[in-house]
């Protein structure tokens, strides 16, 4: 029972599997789709948020401006004796010395507007702009609002309201303006928050979508890998029996004895292929979760003796009653594969029969072949490891069946030459 290195499939390494490639493309498409949808929703929400915020800020600014100009308008006092506006109350008013720019203008003898009070004057437009704003307020005979620019060219929101007194031609206009830098700074912070927050959410959604889609496709990838392994194993295992069957059944002139022998050989090859396919299907269906392993109490010695009777080769059997719990079909397949492997690799010494020992939950099969070569592989039960005959799938099935039953499969050199392969199963639990 010698062993060789696992066979490498160069084609599978250089060319990606189509089904796996399609799943990977689907995963990236799902990630891109979810990312685009998330980004689109965030853009729409960002535009709505910016629009609502702009309107809210606009209304809040106008309300603040209206409160200032209305409050100062009420505080204006005209002295009829002096025929002048008294600003003492204005100068002590918090509204006139607060966070908003304030200017009070009145007309001179020539009807031109002149400034009589100013607070944060640099935040307000030039003299021409102030005069135009005052004219608009007088024409409207009420509070007017306007977007303008201060003396430095920065945008500013203005409000103006006129003041009149009876029995005099004197009139005044109270003008208030916002901080020109505050509007831009607050809006910039909002826009940066929306952009950075949106990009962060898009990135997180892309990562989450990629992870979730990969997790959801993991089972599909496992099924594809199991399907491809099943097809590869079936192709390898059935190639030799099919070739032999073709030779046995090749049309030629035969005597009755040869016909009978050919039919016998064809029947044996058909039974072998049936067992191969049954074993591969059982493994594929169980690993896919379609079926589960049957667990019944059985006599391992009787099961092994029944399997040995299927072989025509000389096999020495020594059994002791032993009870295990497991799937009789799978255990029969494992024992059959061990015996077939021993017959194949023990053919170099046809004079020494294969020996089978059963006892204490163990099935040991010894051949008298060339023995193990420890330099070639550390695991003779690995899929693809072979001693030059077959594909090594039979022993891989043995190891899988043993592990499925909670046991183990081992292989070691036998005293005097050859190899001993063993399946050890745990005792049944009470």
Q: For 265-289, give the DSSP string.
A: HHHHHHHHHHHHHHHHHHHHHHHTT
Last residue of a domain, one of 138, 161, 178: 178
Q: Which of 178, 213, 243 is the last residue of a domain?
A: 178
Q: How many helices (H) and strands (E) does the chain have?
A: 9, 14
Domain assignment of residue 158, yes or no: yes
Q: CA angle 381-269-423, nearest 5°?
A: 25
pLDDT at 7: 40
Rounded Cα–Cα distance for residues 341 and 197 (Å) = 65
Bridge partners of 104, per DSSP, are 117, 174
Q: What is the DSSP string of 132-188?
A: HHHHHHHHHTS-EEEEEE-TTS-EEEEEEEEEE-TT---EEEEEEE--HHHHHHHHH
**Domain boundaries, position 300:** 294-424
Is residue 284 included in any domain, yes or no?
no
Say if 51 falls within a structural domain.
no
Instruction: Look at residues 299, 340, 338, 337 and name the one whose alpha carbon lies nearest to residue 320.
Output: 299
- Characterize the bridge pairing of strands 296-299 and 315-319: unpaired
Q: Which residues of 157-178 are buried (b: 16+ CB within 10 A; e: fewer)?
A: bbbbbbbeeeeeeebbbbbbbb
Task: Tell me how many degrees the CA angle 50-195-148 measures, rounded to the nearest 5.
Answer: 45
Is 105:114 a contact under the CB 8 Å cutoff?
yes
Instruction: Look up residue 42 and give its two tokens.
Output: 């965030």
Beta strand pairing status for 354-359 and 113-119?
unpaired
| Phi, then psi, of 169 in degrees rounded to 5 | -90, -5
Which pLDDT score is estimated for 429?
74
Nearest to 172 by CA among 118, 109, 116: 116
Q: Is residue 310 part of a domain?
A: yes
pLDDT of residue 270: 75
* Sequential pLDDT tens for the chain (430 residues): 433 333 434 334 344 567 778 888 888 898 899 999 999 999 999 889 888 888 888 888 899 999 999 999 888 888 877 778 888 888 888 989 988 999 999 988 788 899 999 999 988 999 889 999 999 999 998 999 998 888 888 888 999 999 988 777 778 999 999 887 665 677 778 888 888 988 999 999 889 888 888 887 777 777 777 666 666 666 666 666 677 677 666 777 767 777 777 777 777 777 777 777 777 777 766 766 666 778 899 999 999 999 898 887 788 899 999 999 988 888 988 898 898 888 877 655 666 788 999 999 999 999 888 777 664 455 667 655 454 444 457 788 888 889 988 999 998 888 888 889 999 999 887 5
Can you give the pLDDT at residue 391? 46
Query: In total, how many domains does the chain have?
Result: 2
β-pair partners for 365: 356, 421
CATH number assigned to the domain comprising residue 93: 3.30.450
| Domain containing residue 303: CATH number | 3.30.565.10
Residue that terminates a domain, selected from 157, 178, 199: 178
Contacts of 218 (CB under 8 A, 6+ apart): none
pLDDT number for residue 357:
94
pTM: 0.49
**Angle in degrees, CA 70, 72, 73, rounded to 5:** 60
Is 254 within the bounds of a domain? no
The answer to whether the CB of 384 falls within 8 A of the CB of 399 is: no
- For residue 261, tell me if it sits in a domain: no
State the DSSP string of 68-111. Answer: HHHHHHHH-EEETTTTEEE-HHHHH-GGGGSSSEEEEEEE-TTS
At residue 289, what are phi and psi to the nearest 5 degrees? 80, 10
């Amino acid at each position: 029972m010698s062993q060789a290195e696992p066979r490498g499939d160069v084609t599978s390494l250089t060319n990606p599997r189509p089904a796996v490639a399609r799943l990977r493309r689907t995963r990236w498409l799902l990630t891109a789709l979810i990312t685009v949808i998330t980004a689109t929703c965030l853009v729409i929400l960002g535009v709505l948020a910016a629009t609502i915020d702009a309107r809210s800020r606009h209304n809040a600014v106008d309300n603040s401006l209206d409160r200032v100009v209305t409050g100062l308008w009420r505080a204006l006092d005209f002295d009829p004796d002096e025929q002048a506006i008294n600003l003492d109350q204005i100068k002590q008013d918090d509204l006139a010395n607060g966070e908003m720019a304030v200017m009070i203008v009145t007309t001179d003898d020539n009807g031109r507007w002149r400034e009589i009070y100013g607070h944060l004057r640099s935040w307000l437009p030039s003299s021409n702009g102030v005069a135009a704003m005052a004219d608009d307020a007088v024409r409207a005979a009420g509070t007017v609002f306007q977007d303008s620019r201060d003396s430095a060219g920065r945008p500013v929101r203005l409000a103006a309201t006129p003041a009149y007194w009876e029995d005099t031609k004197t009139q005044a206009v109270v003008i208030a303006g916002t901080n020109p830098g505050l509007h831009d700074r607050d809006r910039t912070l909002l826009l940066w928050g929306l952009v950075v927050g949106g990009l962060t959410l898009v990135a997180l959604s892309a990562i989450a979508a990629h992870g979730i889609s990969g997790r959801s496709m993991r089972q599909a990838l496992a099924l594809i890998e199991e399907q491809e392994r099943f097809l590869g194993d079936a192709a390898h295992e059935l190639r030799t029996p099919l070739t032999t069957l073709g030779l046995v059944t090749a049309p030629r002139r035969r005597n009755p004895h040869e016909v009978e022998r050919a039919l016998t050989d064809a029947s044996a090859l058909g039974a072998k292929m049936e067992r191969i396919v049954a074993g591969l299907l059982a493994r594929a269906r169980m690993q896919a979760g379609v079926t589960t392993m049957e667990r019944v109490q059985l006599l391992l010695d009787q099961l092994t003796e029944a399997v040995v009777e299927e072989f025509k080769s000389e096999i020495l059997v020594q059994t002791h009653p032993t009870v295990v719990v497991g799937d009789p079909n799978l255990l029969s397949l494992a024992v059959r594969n061990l015996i077939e492997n021993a017959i194949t690799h023990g053919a170099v010494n046809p004079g020494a029969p294969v020996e089978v020992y059963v006892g204490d939950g163990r099935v040991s099969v010894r051949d008298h072949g060339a023995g193990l070569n420890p330099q070639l592989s550390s695991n003779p039960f690995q899929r693809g490891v072979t001693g030059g005959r077959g594909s090594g799938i039979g022993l891989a099935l043995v190891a899988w069946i043993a592990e499925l039953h909670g046991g183990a499969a081992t292989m070691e050199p036998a005293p005097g030459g050859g190899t001993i392969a063993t399946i050890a199963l745990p005792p049944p639990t009470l």
